[in-house]
Amino acid sequence: MVVVMKPEASQAEIDHVIKRAASMGAQTQPITGESHTVIALVGDLTQVQRATFDAMAGVQKTVRIQDPYKLASRTTNPEGTVIDVNGIRFGGEQVVVMAGPCSVESREQIIQTAVAVKEAGASVLRGGAFKPRTSPYSFQGLGEEGLKYLAEAREVTGLPVISEVMTVETIDLVAEYVDILQIGARNMQNYALLQAVGKTRRPVMLKRGLSGEINELLMCAEYILSNGNMQVMLCERGIRTYETATRNTFDLNAVPVLKRSSHLPVVADPAHGTGDWELVPPMSLAAVAAGADALILEVHPDPESALSDGDQSLKPERFADLMRSLRRVAAAVGRSIATPKESDDSAGMAGNKNRSTEETSKSAVLA
Amino acid sequence: MVVVMKPEASQAEIDHVIKRAASMGAQTQPITGESHTVIALVGDLTQVQRATFDAMAGVQKTVRIQDPYKLASRTTNPEGTVIDVNGIRFGGEQVVVMAGPCSVESREQIIQTAVAVKEAGASVLRGGAFKPRTSPYSFQGLGEEGLKYLAEAREVTGLPVISEVMTVETIDLVAEYVDILQIGARNMQNYALLQAVGKTRRPVMLKRGLSGEINELLMCAEYILSNGNMQVMLCERGIRTYETATRNTFDLNAVPVLKRSSHLPVVADPAHGTGDWELVPPMSLAAVAAGADALILEVHPDPESALSDGDQSLKPERFADLMRSLRRVAAAVGRSIATPKESDDSAGMAGNKNRSTEETSKSAVLA
Amino acid sequence: MVVVMKPEASQAEIDHVIKRAASMGAQTQPITGESHTVIALVGDLTQVQRATFDAMAGVQKTVRIQDPYKLASRTTNPEGTVIDVNGIRFGGEQVVVMAGPCSVESREQIIQTAVAVKEAGASVLRGGAFKPRTSPYSFQGLGEEGLKYLAEAREVTGLPVISEVMTVETIDLVAEYVDILQIGARNMQNYALLQAVGKTRRPVMLKRGLSGEINELLMCAEYILSNGNMQVMLCERGIRTYETATRNTFDLNAVPVLKRSSHLPVVADPAHGTGDWELVPPMSLAAVAAGADALILEVHPDPESALSDGDQSLKPERFADLMRSLRRVAAAVGRSIATPKESDDSAGMAGNKNRSTEETSKSAVLA
Amino acid sequence: MVVVMKPEASQAEIDHVIKRAASMGAQTQPITGESHTVIALVGDLTQVQRATFDAMAGVQKTVRIQDPYKLASRTTNPEGTVIDVNGIRFGGEQVVVMAGPCSVESREQIIQTAVAVKEAGASVLRGGAFKPRTSPYSFQGLGEEGLKYLAEAREVTGLPVISEVMTVETIDLVAEYVDILQIGARNMQNYALLQAVGKTRRPVMLKRGLSGEINELLMCAEYILSNGNMQVMLCERGIRTYETATRNTFDLNAVPVLKRSSHLPVVADPAHGTGDWELVPPMSLAAVAAGADALILEVHPDPESALSDGDQSLKPERFADLMRSLRRVAAAVGRSIATPKESDDSAGMAGNKNRSTEETSKSAVLA
């Protein structure tokens, strides 16, 4: 950290900063420039708070130098972490496509969609049972009933399942039925929830909040990691900007930035990112070209009947078209699209793998 | 709602939109312009989802006409709601000043600050016991111990107390000690938490999220109101923009916009809004001039020793200076600053009033 | 346009809106909903101003339905416009790569770079002679001297040249030396400059401003088109958002949105978009995958000696690597990378083509 | 400036940075922390470019310490600059109210409005003759005819006049008729225009761009100041954010930030800032409470007939009401509202003062 003194700061004020920094365990090095004195704080800064210095007389501002996250940093695992979910590997050579409806709406709808997305080549099934909705008067999801249908769809297809968990109290329930726990954008900074999923041993996909800085997303991952769960994936899903031509601004730049800063696998969600199904195919191709490890897409057999997000959902045929293009673009950047596991095997594998992956990715981190 | 068809939309596509809208209970009126057909949906739109229409063939876009909130709307209570907390009235002629440290750090600190802010004229005490922190490695608050110190400070000074509640599980605990429940910016869209405080009968101050639209803030208030709790205050505390000269962009425009759109009292938080104690006095004066019903300010006896937010905290003397200026500006706009209740009375009043205010503000809403 | 009346609007106020709209040549259709009356304005709205209605008593808000641009709209030329610059075609099957240094710094530098980028496969040379700089104390470009060096580099390599024009007075000078006039992001809404380049018959690349909405970019293109110059390309180069991990937020979504809304060719500038050379390769690949018609990239033989933007410039070898990857990704999405023309031919072609392209693209628009 | 090296940077890379910095005239001081080496650059940094270092191998990032502006900095004139326009003083104890229509539409309209705003207490007349409009098809102002009407309104009322200048070529023309040259938000970074008004000796009001950072606004002022014109006022007029409840987000925080950073007078424009006439009164009062030196407001005798910005214009009676409230709030913060000069005197004064003020404010800067 660097403390920049005001041009008119007195020597006593400078000395006070130095003394205070020392009392927090930092080494200091004052540098006197033409107009300002700046004081660099180095060494162990875990006890140093920026606000303390910003509150001091004579201080103009403080500037952070080091990244605030540790376990999420690429330096912790320069090779990159691979998370194995029932044989589907996130963060490796293959690009994983997760697909399914925004909400689970009925037994038929989810099974029909699961079969269709598997046939087109998706290797993970998505579907929401608990839905965060802007309006208290909107459909809020089928809850446990939806989870059961998801589990049934998994049995039929062998596809592992990802679904959102919104509260601490329902983590156990959701974890009973799904393979990957999703933390939604609105809950990115719900620290109680992050700590609680950090205590499970289930892979977690953490979505960037609508106004989440990339550094903050990594700090939120740090909440999960520091509670012992090393199986975290990061998901870019659009940020809020002044532009209204798209519902959100899908910030694809976050993909290479996150890959550079962190060892965690990175997922792209162009459906929520743009909010517009016509933009999903080009931005999905772009995401793979930019280096995403996985995509999460919305597919619905009848988008205009969807109870949520029909406007950003693809029909199964369009999705199948997109999968063909994705394979070509993945090949062009030296990767391939992960293929779904056979259902008999994977159903059996699910339970075992789920337990064993914990060690896998932990050891990856420690490697 | 208005559905705008693409210029090339077929008559069949237009008819399909009309039929679908009718099936959801809406009346429709198609209007054919020079290049587009637009279809207005009127009547009861509670079953109408925009995404349904955005997903349809031939539709270019949909445009919302009516505000999505109902109970939070000013039309529900054109006179404005007044919330009475132990005799301190939010939303009336008087402007309420709430002050205290960001975090409760010790028994001495909170009592000393409470006495100082009361002496300067604050009528509500603030102080955090559960703290949402960006880093898992930072001080997270004293928890229940902090709540006990807050209650003790209330006994000593007679000031009612506001403090944040972060999880559904701790609502009862926090409500046992404090008079106003605060929902923090990061939890603005934590719907489970909103529903749970909506089921209490304790006044709630709901903070706008960092990227919360004003309409979304009102929809989040709707989550509380529709669960039966009519005592909700809205708080502007800074939004995230591209400007970095201030930590956040304190969006003071939200004050008159919220007063026009809603009947709920509006609080301004220039400390979090700007993140810079030097800007707190001018922006506090501005907030009162713009029509805020209350201010919430950070005061710390020794900001540079604060365990959080020292950079945006005022020293007690500066706060006392500011109170003098606030009284003059309040008078200039035809209002006055609420004065603290005498401690003997108010201590006794607290319990009674707390219960009785429920009816008071409810009846205000229904008036 | 739709005028939304306040719930409490009187019949006289509604009638006044209708009468006023009629006096401006619009047809009106009032629709009475549950709480509001809304009045749709259709027909010829060229004389209708939204602000007029927003200023009226009883009006809550107005909502625009039709896009405000005409000549820039895809409906004007559904097939898409192809702009031919000395045989290099923008907007067709091929993707054009423009490359070169941010600033022309010396005769040697620009010729050396031109040769290198041509060798790697770029087909247009970029280089700034007039530079808009944030600080009045920074290098402002070589001016006409720089233009002469650019022209010399064109003679040597046969590559057509693009360079920025910053003022009305220098348009003729710049047009004398370069093949494509660039309007920079800071001048997106410099209407005098737009009108003046609109009166030339030279192709123009118009960059989106840092806070330019996509609709505004198209309105700025409209300023050029409506002055008679149909050879306009649109360039996405990053917008300003709250995120600071990248210098700007390169909004790649703008590429498919612009392709859908407009018939004009779309260029992507990931160097300015991200401000970080390490992000240029992945985001260039992504831009081609998303459907960009051209890329504009910064290449410098010695980035750390560059007088501007060294931080976002590629070295020639990295650029050559990137070109190889670009060819693979272009093929994956059914396109190819344009190849540079042979120097003898193209030098001769330049003059002729420049004149003839005017008609070419005009007729495309009228087709 | 501080250069932060990557954790894996080699000693050779560190040495290279140091050597390069030295060659640019900077003194360097490397500091080795736990994970990074950081190199502080102090002394004369005028020849140092950040991009040079960001382009170097082994460099993670650079951090700017010193503000980039010099002449605009408060340290240049700690007492604050007062600009005297025909006896109306900007930046002193008094708050100046400038008012008038957005556009000059006719001789009658501007004279009628001038008389009305003077009667209500405004001391400067505003009115646009050259109008930057989003659409090429909208009313673009009366041009020189409008300037003549403005001059006539000045003769009648004695009010000095402010009007926008959009191009270098029209500066002389505009300066012939008006007392204060306005640079609009879209031209904040039109450097050619800034340099040209910097060469005049006419006071300039520079508006912050829609996405202008406060530091950038000050750098743009630097362009004017460094060309010799010391009479610059800065104007906050709303920035672009994600919030759509107001047309722009009027960033009132900029007022105290600019007053702290710079010696230049600060003007607030709540009409453009919010785009909503109902919000203009509360935000005008707030601006004075926050410390603005002047307000610029839109007043139109018949807002719904206005050719531009009717939606954000006040009627004369509302403006007169607002003036009464402004006087009370100004008094509450220890200031007063400037009163208009008598017309006989001021007409005569205009010419003289205009010349003499140049020295006045220059000497203020040098004081």
User: What's the pLDDT tens digit per position in C222-263?
Assistant: 999 999 999 999 999 999 999 999 999 999 999 999 999 999
Question: Band of the pLDDT at B343, cuts 50, 70, 90?
Answer: low
Selected residue with higher pLDDT from B231 and B56? B231
Please state, for a pLDDT cut of 90, what percent of chain C lies above it: 71
Residue B309 in contact with residue B102, Cβ under 8 Å? yes
B33/C63 touch (CB, cutoff 8 Å), yes or no: no
What value does the mean pLDDT of chain B take?
Answer: 90
Euclidean distance between CA atoms B278 and D256, whole angstroms: 9
Residues B23 and B160 in one domain: no
B17 with B107, same domain?
A: no
- The answer for residues whose C-beta is within 8 angstroms of residue C96's C-beta and 6 or more apart is C88, C89, C90, C123, C124, C293, C294, C295, C337, C338
| Cβ(D69)–Cβ(D51) below 8 Å | no
What is the per-residue pLDDT for B253? 98
* Cβ neighbours of D133 in C, within 8 Å: 191
At D197-242, the pLDDT tens digits run: 999 999 999 999 999 999 999 999 999 999 999 999 999 999 999 9
Does residue D353 belong to any structural domain of this protein? no
**How far are the Cα atoms of A3, C13, D14, D61 from residue A39, in angstroms, in the given order?**
5, 65, 20, 18
Chain C to chain D Cβ contacts (< 8 Å): 122
Closest residue of D to A46, CA-based? D34
Final residue in a domain of this structure, among B38, B63, B88? B63
In a domain, C184, yes or no: yes
On the question of pLDDT at D16 being above 50, the answer is yes
C136 and C188 fall within a common domain: yes
**B260-302: pLDDT as tens digits:** 999 999 999 999 999 999 999 999 999 999 999 999 999 998 8
Nearest to D29 among A31, A35, A75 (CB): A31
**Does residue B357 form part of some domain?**
no
Predicted pLDDT at C343: 62
Q: Which two tokens stand for residue B126?
A: 């603030």
Taking the alpha carbons at both ends of chain A, their separation in whole angstroms is 30
C-alpha distance from B222 to closest chain A C-alpha (Å): 7
List, as one string, the DSSP characters of C267-334: EE-HHHHH--GGGHHHHHHHHHHHT-SEEEEEB-SSGGG-SS-GGGPBPHHHHHHHHHHHHHHHHHTT
Cβ–Cβ of C190/D187 closer than 8 Å? Answer: yes
Work out the pLDDT band at C344, boundaries 50, 70, 90.
Answer: low
Instruction: Judge whether D361 lies within some domain.
Output: no
- Any chains having at least 3 CB pairs less than 8 A from chain B are A, C, D
For D349, the token pair is 């004064």
Are both B96 and B27 inside the same structural domain? no
Q: Which sign does the torsion angle of CA B235, B236, B237, B240 carry?
A: positive
Task: Check pLDDT > 80 for residue D160.
Answer: yes
Same domain, C195 and C260: yes
pLDDT at B363 over 50: no
Cα Rg of chain D, angstroms: 23
Cα distance between residue C230 and residue D179, in whole Å = 40
Q: Is residue C347 part of a domain?
A: no
Question: What is the spatial distance between Cα D224 and Cα D218, in angstroms, rounded to a whole number?
Answer: 10
Examine the domain organization and report whether A289 and A321 are in the same domain: yes
Whole-number percent of chain D with pLDDT over 70:
93
On chain C, the residues whose CB falls within 8 A of the CB of A254 are 245
B95, B196: one domain: yes
pLDDT at site A216: 95
Distance from C-alpha of D12 to C-alpha of C55, rounded to nearest angstrom: 66
Q: What is the Cβ-side half-sphere exposure of residue A282, based on CA atoms within 13 angstroms? A: 21
Which two three-digit tokens encode residue A171? 């983590």
Answer whether residue C98 shows pLDDT above 50. yes
Average the pLDDT over C41-70 and give the result. Answer: 84
Which CATH number characterizes residue B31's domain?
Answer: 3.30.70.1140
Q: Do C276 and C248 share a domain, yes or no?
A: yes
Q: How confident is the model at residue D343 (pLDDT cuts 50, 70, 90)?
A: low
Instruction: For residue C163, name the pLDDT band (cuts at 50, 70, 90).
Output: very high
Q: Which of A168, A222, A307 sits opposite B167 (nearest CB)?
A: A168
What is the mean pLDDT of the segment spanning D266-294?
97
Phi, psi values for residue B267, rounded to 5°: -110, 145
Residues of A in contact with D44 (CB under 8 A): 34
Helical ranges in chain D per DSSP H? 11-23, 50-54, 107-120, 144-157, 171-177, 191-198, 214-225, 254-261, 270-274, 280-290, 316-332, 343-366
How many Cβ atoms sit within 10 Å of the Cβ of residue B46? Answer: 12
pLDDT band at C363 (very low <50, low <70, confident <90, very high): very low
Q: What percent of chain D has pLDDT over 90?
A: 71
Q: C63, C86, C102 — which closes off a domain?
A: C63
Q: Which D positions 234-273 lie with beta carbon below 8 A of chain A?
A: 240-242, 244
How many interchain CB pairs under 8 A, B with C?
62
Distance in Å, alpha carbon of C59 to nearest chain B alpha carbon: 12
The answer to whether A48 touches A1, Cβ cutoff 8 Å, is yes
Element (H, E) at C122: none
- For D35-77, the pLDDT digits (tens) are 778 888 887 787 788 888 988 889 988 888 777 888 999 989 9
Q: How far is B183 from chain A (nearest CA, A)?
A: 12
Q: What is the mean pLDDT of residues C8-24?
A: 91
Averaged over B113-126, what is the pLDDT?
97
Q: Nearest CA to D335 among D288, D281, D295, D265? A: D288
Q: Average pLDDT over chain D, rounded to whole?
A: 90
- b/e sequence B4-33, b meaning 16+ C-beta within 10 Å: bbbbebeeebbebbbebbeebebbbbbbeb
Please say if the pLDDT value at position C61 is more than 90.
Answer: no
CATH code of the domain containing C216: 3.20.20.70
CB contact under 8 A, A240 and D242: yes
Q: What is the pLDDT of chain C when averaged over all its residues?
A: 90
Residues A47 and A121 in one domain: no
- According to the model, what pLDDT value does residue B137 have? 82
Q: Point out the residues of chain A with pLDDT beneath 50.
A: 345-367
D-chain CB neighbours of C132 within 8 Å are 189, 191
In a domain, B209, yes or no: yes
Nearest-CA residue of chain B relative to A140?
Answer: B191
D343 within a domain of the structure (yes/no): no
Report the candidate in A197, A200, A202 with the shortest Cα–Cα distance to residue A183. A197
Q: Does A305 touch chain B (CB under 8 A)?
A: yes
Residues D279 and D313 in one domain: yes
C115 and C43 in one domain?
A: no
Record: contact C53-D240, CB cut-off 8 A: no
Query: For position B37, what pLDDT does the model report?
Result: 86
- Number of Cβ within a 10 Å radius of residue C79: 11
Span C80-88, average pLDDT: 97
Question: Which amino acid is present at D306?
Answer: A
Chain D within 8 Å of B209 (Cβ-Cβ)? no
D236 and D250 in contact (C-beta within 8 Å)?
yes
- Tell whether B185 lies on the interface with D, counting CB pairs under 8 A: no
Could you tell me the strand order of the sheet in which B2-5 lies?
A: B26-32, B37-43, B2-5, B59-63
Evaluate whether B271 touches B313 at the Cβ level (below 8 Å): yes
Q: Tell me how many domains chain A contains.
A: 2
Interface of C with D in 47-86 (CB under 8 A): 49-56, 68
Q: What three-state secondary structure class fits A182?
A: strand
Domain closes at, from B63, B94, B114: B63
* Residue C351 domain-assigned (yes or no): no
Same domain for C79 and C209, yes or no, is yes
Longest Cα separation, chain C: 75
Residues composing chain C: 367
* Domain ranges, residue A53: 2-63
